[in-house]
């Protein structure tokens, strides 16, 4: 296993997120990834690499170019408005809803922040673009390494910020660039004919679903907390099956809060059967470990030992696999849980 880690991840270090009307310390912190790196020192399940430069042309095919331009310049624009802004992160406060226009790019900075975001929980900081772009490079390099001669069976983009909530032209849910989607597209570009993206994060992978919703070459599947009560609330229901050429190529398996490993693994078996039926020749796992029983913002009951079984079950597909790092906020256990999945997979 080859693990591409993001040496710039800690440059994305949000101070506060909006939560229930208050600004609270961010859940998505650099310490999360530090714990995974430390656990990999103890249990070296793979070889560590750093990525090359990000393929901006690929990023601009998966995401809208005007959105990528915004991310690349947002911090400098923010500080240019007022030098004192450097002490505060960017959070949106106004959004276009149904009936508003999204085809005219506002000149006003706050309006552009709102146009390109869907929550106030994802601060954009001085280092967000560097961290996200380098993370995207991890995902793209992880996908390409899988297609090389003498490729390993699996690779990982060990990075933050996470990616699965980010869509073609929006950020949110702590995500800015969709690493899993970039990996899937890189696999397609490199010759994989049918790619499956299986999202096991606690939260529905709305960004990934929306990016591939009308495509038949990439199947998206997500096992997550029922959006009727769980974030991201406005997507992730079971009746979303894909559209147009992509009809039948999206599968959502929403589960109620409180679901334990027996309920969760039944959904996993259903997803794996669907991937076999689809005939995928490569796999992307959007790996969130916020399904953990100790996660502070989620409500499933998966234990640390269960993650070994999850890795082993995914390996039964026998597919070349890219893992991307998504959520997981029980900081001290994130390393154990992520490395358990990888160890279960390679065992
Ligand atoms: N009131 C990921 O796991 N905020 N993102 C939760 C709910 C958003 C999670 C607050 C959670 C986003 C990648
Ligand atoms: Zn999550």
Whether 282 contacts 320, CB under 8 Å: yes
Ligand nearest to C-alpha 208:
1
Beta strands in 100-249 (DSSP E): 154-158, 195-199, 218-225
Quick check: 51 and 343 in contact, CB under 8 A? no
Nearest CA to ligand 1 atom 12: 173
Q: How many CA atoms lie within 13 A of 215 on its CB side?
A: 19
Evaluate: CB of 130 within 6 angstroms of ligand 1.
Answer: no
Q: If you take atom 9 of ligand 1, which residue's CA is the nearest one?
A: 173
* Residue 294 belongs to domain spanning: 2-346
Where is 22: in which H helix or E strand? strand 22-25
Structural domains counted in the chain? 1
Residue 9: active-site member: no
Phi and psi at residue 255, to the nearest 5° = -130, 150
Classified as helix, coil or strand, 34 is helix
Per-residue pLDDT of the chain (347 residues; tens, 9 = 90+): 999 999 999 999 999 999 999 999 999 999 999 999 999 999 999 999 999 999 999 999 999 999 999 999 999 999 999 999 999 999 999 999 999 999 999 999 999 999 999 999 999 999 999 999 999 999 999 999 999 999 999 999 999 999 999 999 999 999 999 999 999 999 999 999 999 999 999 999 999 999 999 999 999 999 999 999 999 999 999 999 999 999 999 999 999 999 999 999 999 999 999 999 999 999 999 999 999 999 999 999 999 999 999 999 999 999 999 999 999 999 999 999 999 999 999 99
Name which residue sits closest to atom 3 of ligand 1, judged by CA. Answer: 327
For Cα atoms 133, 134, 140, give the angle at the middle one, nearest 5 degrees.
90
Distance 151 CA to ligand 1 centre (A): 34
Nearest ligand 1 atom, CA 288: 3
Do residues 306 and 200 touch, judged by C-beta distance below 8 A?
Answer: no
ipTM of predicted complex: 0.95
Rounded to two decimals, what is the model's pTM?
0.98
State the distance from the centre of ligand 1 to the C-alpha of 236, rounded, in angstroms: 14
How many Cβ atoms from other residues are within 10 Å of residue 283's Cβ? 26
Best mutation site among 29, 165, 223, 236 for ligand 1 pocket (most ligand atoms within 8 Å of CB): 165
Q: Is 161 in the pocket of ligand 1 (CB under 6 A)?
A: no
CATH of the domain at 213: 3.40.800.20
In 3D space, the residue among 215, 124, 211, 158 whose CA is nearest the CA of residue 4 turns out to be 158
Cα(69) to centroid(ligand 2), Å: 26
Give start and end residues of each alpha helix (H) in the chain. 30-42, 56-62, 65-81, 109-115, 128-147, 179-189, 206-212, 261-278, 306-315, 331-346
The one catalytic residue in 165, 203, 204, 224 is 165
The response to whether residue 204 sits with its C-beta less than 6 Å from ligand 1 reads no
DSSP type of residue 117 = B
- Pocket flag, ligand 1, residue 203 (CB < 6 Å): yes
Closest ligand 1 atom, CA of 203? 3
Q: What totals of helices (H) and strands (E) does the chain contain, helices first?
A: 10, 10
Measuring CA to CA, how many Å separate 178 from each of 39, 157, 161, 228? 25, 12, 10, 24
> Measured from the CB, is residue 297 less than 6 Å from ligand 1?
yes
> Which amino acid residue places its CA nearest to atom 2 of ligand 1?
327
Task: Give 218 Cα–ligand 2 centroid separation in angstroms.
Answer: 21
Please tell me the predicted confidence (pLDDT) of residue 215: 98
19, 173, 230, best to mutate for ligand 1 pocket (most atoms within 8 Å of CB) = 173
Ligand 1 atom closest to residue 327's alpha carbon, by position in its atom list:
3
Whether the CA torsion 146, 151, 153, 155 is positive or negative: it is: negative
CB 260 within 8 A of CB 229: no
CA pair distance 295, 318, nearest whole angstrom? 30
Q: What is the dihedral of CA 155, 157, 158, 163, to 10 degrees?
A: -140
């Amino acid at each position: 296993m080859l693990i591409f880690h993001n040496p710039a991840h800690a440059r994305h270090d949000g101070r506060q997120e909006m939560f229930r009307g208050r600004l609270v310390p961010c859940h998505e912190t650099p310490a999360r990834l530090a714990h995974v790196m430390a656990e990999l020192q103890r249990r070296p399940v793979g070889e560590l690499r750093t990525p090359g430069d990000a393929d901006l042309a690929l990023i601009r095919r998966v995401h809208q170019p005007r959105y990528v331009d915004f991310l690349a310049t947002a911090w400098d624009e923010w500080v240019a408005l007022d030098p004192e802004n450097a002490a505060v992160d960017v959070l949106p406060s106004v959004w276009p809803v149904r009936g508003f226009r999204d085809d005219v790019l506002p000149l006003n900075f706050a309006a552009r922040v709102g146009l390109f975001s869907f929550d106030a929980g994802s601060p954009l900081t001085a280092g967000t673009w560097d961290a996200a772009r380098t993370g995207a490079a991890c995902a793209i390099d992880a996908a390409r390494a899988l297609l090389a001669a003498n490729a390993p069976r699996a690779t990982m983009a060990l990075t933050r910020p996470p990616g699965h909530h980010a869509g073609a032209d929006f950020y949110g849910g702590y995500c800015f660039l969709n690493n899993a989607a970039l990996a899937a597209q890189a696999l397609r570009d490199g010759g994989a004919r049918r790619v499956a993206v299986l999202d096991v994060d606690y939260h529905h992978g709305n960004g990934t679903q929306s990016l591939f919703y009308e495509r038949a070459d990439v199947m998206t599947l997500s096992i997550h907390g029922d959006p009727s009560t769980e974030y991201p609330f406005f997507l992730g229901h079971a009746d979303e099956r894909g559209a147009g050429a992509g009809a039948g190529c999206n599968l959502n398996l929403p589960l109620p809060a409180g679901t334990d490993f027996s309920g969760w693994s039944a959904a996993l078996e259903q997803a794996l059967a669907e991937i076999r039926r689809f005939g995928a020749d490569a796999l992307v796992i959007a790996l969130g470990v916020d399904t953990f029983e100790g996660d502070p913002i989620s409500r499933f009951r998966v234990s640390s030992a269960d993650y070994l079984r999850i890795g082993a079950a995914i390996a039964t597909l026998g597919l070349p696999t890219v893992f991307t790092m998504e959520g997981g906020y029980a900081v001290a256990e994130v390393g154990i849980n992520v490395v358990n999945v990888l160890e279960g997979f390679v065992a």
